[in-house]
Structure 1
């Protein structure tokens, strides 16, 4: 089965909050999410074209593992923690399944 991905995009409009947000995500949220989700890999990005956009991608072994996480209590807890620590930061969540991988 192909890998599946959970993508979370946050918009940190206030530039003065970005460094603290970045540190929190790096040291608290991402390690907690990796452990809680049981993912194989995770990445974080800041957009070069829009510095307010932060994106995190979590790789799951397959769609079944992703669906199990989406229905679980850990996601609810992590969302609650995010909302507590970063109220007013809007987020979107999307899911993807790998269609093709090409390596040069």
Structure 2
């Protein structure tokens, strides 16, 4: 079964809050999410086209593992923590399944 991915896009509109958001995400949120989700890989990105756009991606072994996480308490707790610490940051979430992997 192919890997599945959980993607969270956050828009940090206040440039003065981006450094603190980045620090919080790096030291608190990603480590907590990786542990809670039981994933071995996660990535974070800042957009080069829109400096307010942050994206986090978590890789799951398959769709079953992703679906289990989506229905569990871990996501609800992480969302609550995010809302508490960053109430003004809007987010969207997306789920993806790997269609192809190419490496040279």
Question: TM class, shorter-chain normalised?
Answer: over 0.9
Report how many residues are paired: 104
Partner of 1:57: 57
Give per-residue Cα distances to partners, 1:7-35, cap 9 Å, x unaligned: 00000000000000000000000000000
Give the Cα separation in 1 of the matches to 2:98 and 2:51: 27
Deviation at 1:40, TM superposition (A): 2.0
Give the Cα separation in 2 of the matches to 1:2 and 1:42: 16
Q: Pairwise CA RMSD of aligned residues?
A: 0.3
Deviation at 1:88, TM superposition (A): 1.4
Give the Cα separation in 2 of the matches to 1:73 and 1:8: 17
Task: Give every structure 1 segment of 4 or more consecutive aligned residues whose post-TM-superposition deviation is greater than 2 Å.
Answer: none
